[in-house]
């Protein structure tokens, strides 16, 4: 059986591996799906529906062999904000629109571009999301009553502080037991998911000793139906699209980042290689279909994908089985899930927040005390105290500004002359002095990218030389890896001005990309194809032929080895 190489040479032993890994990951996904849905402000069954439908579609259609998709913690702040501001029905429409965007991103091969989002921005908003998730579970952990949910962090913290007097000791004990079991299970029973074990033990404890004293899923959200999700068309209008386009873009971008990060982790663990554009298309289709069955936005889940690989998955079929396992549990055990205490869900999400906090990477970037540290802290603070959309926008803009600043500082323009003492008479800046500086030939070494951030500085530094009216201007561009149209425009202005004064421009060592830009704009031919040289030595030989010999007579600069002969008129005087 072959299908795009992912089921190549599939056999019975591989199916057994997929069956086992799918069963394990499916069991892990059940409490997480419900917990993420509750944290996002919707009913827990919607998280289950997402796990089933998106999980199956992402595995079948995505570009990663072992990707496990579903609701994730990264979405919680943005989904909660949409629900609070626009309501659940509009959340479905935002997810649907995000799915279309993801498909288009994959179709136009934009998968690689997402990888260029600066790491400090990703760490900043991921750490911020972790703080929001963790803090959002405090009220459930303590069993506080009369809590009013707010969209922003500070009002929610004020709400908890005001209602601390309503702390429920039974909820604290239930949550504490769940947390303890989660922490001990990996040591005592490493093959059993700690979140599931904690959920079961604490739920049994609450049912036996605290019945009626602890809020449950059923008492807070109603009983979870043991039926399949029903298909429903979304009421999409142009007004709703305009209203939800911003949130949809953030969902799409966040989903793309999360899924591709998860795919990269999977590649590292399994030795495979994912197709980023196909992954975006698969994620997009899953997010288009899932809202039609009441599901919330989904993406690749790093922890579940890692568990899938560790459990021995052999193909994408493990992800399909994981979805089928969740569906089976929904049909058979939904009534029991309604009795799960909310206090038992809180430690599960708190552990998710702790694991996704990127605390080590955060501290590492902070210790560097560079501009990246500024981007990191600002993105983190904006995520926590304002919102994720603003944090990502500001973080990206600041990262770009700081990048341009660093690149502008990287450009170096230095006037040089040959050093007779160096091997092959290499060009050195220190050779240029007041008494050793050819009046007719100015040679400049340009190092660094020539783009909009540095173009004016480049032009100004060369213009200073033009005022001395040399006959030849030689630009050594071997260390210019990139040139944009602004850099080309400034170079063109320089060349035209110099040629208008009767000067000659020579260029040596130009790299392919800048040469292509000059060729497309016509500047290459304006300078003259015979004025481009591979080596500086050849360019200097050409420059020497352009000299006004009468100006060389008696010159004492001796900038080149030929100057002795020229100064004394040995050559044809």
Q: Is residue 67 part of a domain?
A: yes
Q: Is residue 3 part of a domain?
A: no
The C-alpha atoms of residue 551 and residue 555 are separated, in whole angstroms, by 7
Whole-model pTM? 0.76
Mean pLDDT of 128-153: 88
pLDDT at 2 over 60: no
Query: What pLDDT, on the 0 to 100 scale, is given for residue 460?
Result: 76
- Of 351, 368, 401, which marks where a domain is finished? 401
Residue 373 and residue 446 in one domain:
no
Mean pLDDT of 87-109: 95
- Of 348, 377, 401, which marks where a domain is finished? 401
pLDDT at 573 over 60: no
Residue 370 and residue 417 in one domain:
no
Mean pLDDT check: name the lowest of 104-118, 315-329, 372-386: 104-118
* Average confidence score pLDDT of the chain: 87
Query: What pLDDT, on the 0 to 100 scale, is given for residue 88?
Result: 94
* pLDDT, tens only, 239-281: 999 999 999 999 998 899 889 888 888 888 888 888 989 999 9
* pLDDT, tens only, 311-348: 888 889 999 999 999 999 888 888 888 888 999 989 98
Residue 382 and residue 248 in one domain:
yes
pLDDT at 547 over 90: no
- Of 401, 420, 439, which marks where a domain is finished? 401
pLDDT at 227 over 70: yes
pLDDT band at 570 (very low <50, low <70, confident <90, very high): low
Q: How far is CA 198 from CA 117, 137, 173, 192, 569, in A?
A: 37, 16, 12, 10, 96
Q: Is residue 384 part of a domain?
A: yes
Neighbours of 413 (CB within 10 A): 20
Residue 346 and residue 421 in one domain:
no
Q: Which residue has the higher pLDDT, 113 or 18?
A: 18
pLDDT at 379 over 70: yes
Rg of the chain over Cα atoms, rounded to whole angstroms, equals 32
Residue 426 and residue 336 in one domain:
no
The C-alpha atoms of residue 308 and residue 9 are separated, in whole angstroms, by 20
Residue 143 and residue 227 in one domain:
yes
pLDDT at 225 over 70: yes
Residue 393 and residue 416 in one domain:
no
Q: Is residue 100 part of a domain?
A: yes
pLDDT at 455 over 50: yes
Do the bridges between strand 472-479 and strand 504-508 make them parallel or antiparallel, or are there none, so unpaired?
parallel
Strands (E) across 221-283 are located at: none
| CB of 300 closer than 8 Å to CB of 64 | yes
Domain range for residue 156? 12-186+194-401
Mean pLDDT of 96-123: 87
End-to-end CA distance of the chain: 86
Residue 371 and residue 436 in one domain:
no
Query: What pLDDT, on the 0 to 100 scale, is given for residue 203?
Result: 92
Query: What pLDDT, on the 0 to 100 scale, is given for residue 9?
Result: 67
pLDDT at 572 over 50: no
pLDDT at 459 over 80: no
Report CA dihedral (523, 524, 527, 529) to the nearest 10 degrees: -160
Residue 295 and residue 433 in one domain:
no
pLDDT at 1 over 50: no
pLDDT at 103 over 60: yes
Q: What CATH number does residue 560 fall under?
A: 3.30.750.24
* pLDDT, tens only, 413-433: 888 888 887 777 788 888 888
């Amino acid at each position: 059986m072959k299908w795009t190489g992912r089921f190549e040479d599939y056999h019975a032993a591989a199916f057994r591996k997929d069956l086992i890994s799918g069963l394990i990951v499916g069991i892990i996904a059940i409490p997480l799906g419900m917990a993420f849905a509750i944290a996002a402000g919707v009913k827990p069954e919607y998280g289950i529906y997402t796990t089933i439908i998106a999980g199956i579609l992402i595995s079948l259609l995505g570009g990663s062999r072992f990707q496990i998709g579903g609701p994730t913690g990264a979405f919680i702040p943005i989904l909660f904000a949409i629900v609070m501001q626009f309501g659940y029905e509009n959340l479905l429409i935002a997810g649907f629109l995000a799915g279309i965007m993801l498909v288009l991103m994959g179709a136009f091969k934009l998968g690689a571009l997402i990888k260029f989002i600066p790491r400090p921005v990703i760490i900043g908003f991921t750490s911020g999301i972790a703080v929001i998730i963790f803090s959002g579970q405090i009220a459930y952990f303590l069993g506080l009553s009369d809590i009013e949910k707010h969209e922003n962090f500070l009002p929610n913290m004020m709400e908890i502080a005001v209602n601390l007097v309503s702390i429920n000791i039974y909820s604290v004990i239930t949550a504490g037991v769940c947390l303890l079991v989660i922490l001990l299970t990996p040591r005592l029973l490493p093959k059993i998911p700690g979140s599931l074990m904690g959920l079961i033990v604490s739920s049994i404890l609450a049912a036996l000793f605290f019945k009626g004293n602890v809020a449950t899923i059923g008492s807070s959200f109603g009983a979870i139906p043991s039926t399949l999700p029903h298909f429903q068309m979304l009421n999409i209008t142009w007004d709703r699209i305009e209203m939800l386009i911003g949130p949809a873009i953030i969902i799409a971008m966040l989903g793309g980042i999360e899924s591709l990060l998860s795919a990269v982790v999977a590649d590292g663990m399994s030795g495979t290689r994912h197709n980023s554009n196909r992954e975006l298309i698969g994620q997009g289709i899953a997010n288009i279909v899932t809202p039609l069955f009441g599901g919330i936005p989904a993406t690749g889940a790093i922890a579940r994908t890692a568990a899938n690989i560790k459990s021995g998955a052999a193909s994408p079929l493990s992800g399909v089985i994981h979805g089928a396992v969740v569906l089976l549990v929904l049909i058979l055990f939904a009534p029991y899930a309604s009795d799960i205490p909310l206090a038992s869900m809180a430690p599960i999400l708190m552990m998710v927040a702790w694991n996704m906090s990127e605390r080590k990477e955060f501290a590492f970037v902070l210790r560097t005390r560079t501009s990246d540290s500024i981007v990191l802290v600002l993105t983190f603070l904006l995520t926590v105290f304002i919102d994720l959309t603003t944090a990502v926008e500001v973080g990206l803009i600041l990262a770009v500004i700081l990048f341009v600043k660093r690149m502008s500082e990287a450009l170096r323009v230095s006037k040089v002359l040959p050093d007779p003492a160096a091997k092959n008479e290499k060009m050195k800046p220190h050779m240029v002095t007041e008494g050793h500086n050819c009046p007719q030939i100015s040679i400049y070494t340009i190092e660094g990218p020539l783009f909009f951030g540095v173009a004016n500085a480049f032009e100004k530094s060369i213009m200073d030389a033009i005022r001395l009216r040399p006959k030849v201007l030689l630009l050594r561009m071997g260390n210019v890896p990139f040139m944009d149209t602004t850099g080309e425009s400034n170079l063109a202005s320089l060349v035209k001005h110099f040629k208008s004064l009767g000067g000659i421009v020579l260029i040596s060592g130009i790299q392919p990309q800048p040469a292509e830009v000059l060729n497309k704009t016509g500047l290459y031919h304006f300078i003259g194809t015979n004025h481009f040289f591979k080596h500086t030595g050849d360019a200097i030989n050409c420059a020497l032929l352009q000299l006004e010999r009468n100006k060389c007579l008696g010159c004492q600069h001796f900038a080149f080895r030929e100057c002795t002969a020229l100064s004394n008129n040995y050559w044809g005087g």
